[in-house]
Chain A
Amino acid sequence: MTTRFFGDTAVLAGRSLRHIGRSPDTIVTTAITPIAMMLMFVYVFGGAIDTGSHESYVSYQLPGILLITIASGIAYTAYRLFQDKNSGMFDRFQSMPIARSAVLWGHVITSVVANMISLVVVVLVALLMGFRTGASVLDWLSVIGILALFTLALTWLAVIPGLTAGTVEGASAFSYPLIFLPFLSSAFVPTDTMPGPVQAFAEHQPVTSIVDTIRAIFAGEDPGNELWIALAWCIGLLVVAYVLATAAYRRKFS
């Protein structure tokens, strides 16, 4: 059964990756909003923001922009799942002797690959805007690992509306609040100027720890405890989203 699972997942991921290859605009549109935000933050607000840090503002805000990129990218997973469910592709796959969960994993892996490509585009633009880091290969690998884990967690979250939404708008709309989470975090301004309750929220939501960790790694500093908090958030989110998504799947297609 496990060999079935890996083989079927690979075939189905190949299918949805081909969809992306046929409409590469999904990767571009995923990257364009975060890039526009980055231009605005760096060239409009950036000069007036005192981060209290010695690094350039473009480097300061990049981690938050990367998380916004992921939050907008995963909406496509919900959209593609919804389409498969409604068009009858799911019924076809379900009536075949393939590994049950491969149908979902195919979409999840596609999401991780597509988001990684969008992230590369955003980082390249940040480099043009003056983002510099002394991060070593190992540092980069840890940043990629954290971003991949966050993508995986949010993608499984996106599976839930993809399976349960009644309309295609509903399937994609859930990601808007996720896109705004970085604004209520340390992504663009330090949290200590925020009023009490906002600050309390900002300091205890997943984005802040992930942003602080990536920012520290890029700056060549030790992220310390933030790294473990970030990993705990990502893995916790992943487990909860995975359990809820597979439960929704089993309810729909048992």
Chain B
Amino acid sequence: MNPTPAIQIAGLTKSYGDVHVLQGVDMTVESGSIFALLGSNGAGKTTTVKILTTLLKADGGTASVNGFDVQTQAQDVRSSISLTGQFAAVDEILTGRENLILVAKLLRQPNPGAVADDLLARFSLTEAGNRKVATYSGGMRRRVDIAMSLIGNPPVIFLDEPTTGLDPEARIEVWQAVKELADNGTTVLLTTQYLEEAEQLADRIAILHEGRIIANGTLAELKAMFPPAKKEYVEKQPTLEEIFLAITSTSNGTSAGTTTVKES
């Protein structure tokens, strides 16, 4: 693996008037890992992602992605990343295939049509490929979004709240797609407000709270920061999510059906 960290942030600050959204964020994301930035609404997750993806200028501090400074080498950063999720849209008037071709053309891929067909197949969207995205379900739309972010094999992918607003089934579809990304050695920075999502996907988790990183480590390290687990025997009731999935999963059932394994 590349020894240079994929993302390095030091002392990052950003204010909107009197609102100090980021108050000195420091963090490092190792190349090839999935890193979750966890925080509640308004904690500064999206602001951090916008600065890292060159959409917003920081007030102070430094940030680099794939070794390039986001301020002075913005175009090199843009060549190293892709952005998907909450605020990076898919064109609803175009078909899924046309969306992929659009991005492939903008990224100067030699054969945009073939790139699109390949990704549609990988994300089980071949049949829907020639329908307008406006007719897609939330999960399909996010899959197109993630497929778009793979074009050109960028070394760093930003997923901003990739599952916000999705139903449980679609959320598991997206998780599956994210796991496949990391298996190919891509660095993924994921923002989420769902603890379970961070637990499921991330190698390392940082908690952003009121503009600062207040905790940063692997899941095990974060757990060690809390008092040791107490053993209690409790009859395990299925969660509503498990019930929902059990009832709604059809015969062609995705691997989604497996219940989540709770640690400790």
What is the interface of chain A, defined by CB distance below 8 A to chain B?
Answer: 7-8, 11-12, 15, 18-19, 22-23, 87-89, 91-98, 253-254
Contacts and interface: CB of A to CB of B under 8 A. Distances in A.
Given A11-B105, A91-B83, A18 B57 contact: no
A37 B69 CA distance: 57
A95 B87 CA distance: 12
Given A15-B94, A88-B86, A88-B87, 6 more contacts: A12-B106, A22-B132, A89-B89, A95-B81, A95-B83, A96-B82
Given A11-B106, A95-B53, A18 B94 contact: yes
A95 B106 contact: no
Interface residues of B, number: 28
B129 to A, nearest CB: 16
A117 B54 CA distance: 38
Interface of B: 50, 53-55, 57, 75, 78-79, 81-83, 86-89, 91-94, 98, 102-103, 105-108, 132, 148
B75 to A, nearest CB: 6
Contacts of B82: 95-96
Given A92-B88, A95-B83, A97-B78, A15 B102 contact: yes
A97 B102 contact: no
Contact of A88 (B54, B57, B88, B132): B88
Contacts of A89: 89, 91
A18 B86 CA distance: 25
- Closest 4 CB pairs between A and B? A88-B89, A97-B78, A95-B83, A97-B79
25 contacts: A15-B94, A18-B93, A22-B93, A22-B132, A87-B89, A87-B92, A88-B86, A88-B88, A88-B89, A89-B91, A91-B55, A91-B89, A92-B89, A93-B106, A94-B54, A94-B55, A95-B53, A95-B55, A95-B81, A95-B82, A96-B82, A96-B103, A97-B79, A253-B55, A254-B57
A94 B87 CA distance: 12
A45 B58 CA distance: 61
A95 B78 contact: yes
Nearest to B98: A18
Nearest to A92: B88
A91 B84 CA distance: 10
Among A7, A8, A95, chain B packs the most CB atoms within 10 A around the CB of: A95
B263 to A, nearest CB: 35
Contacts of B91: 15, 89
A20 to B, nearest CB: 10
A9 to B, nearest CB: 11
Contacts of B106: 8, 11-12, 93, 96, 98
A7 B106 CA distance: 8
A11 B93 contact: no
Nearest to B85: A88
A136 to B, nearest CB: 40
A96 B89 contact: no
A97 B53 CA distance: 11
B97 to A, nearest CB: 12
Nearest to A84: B89
A87 B133 CA distance: 13
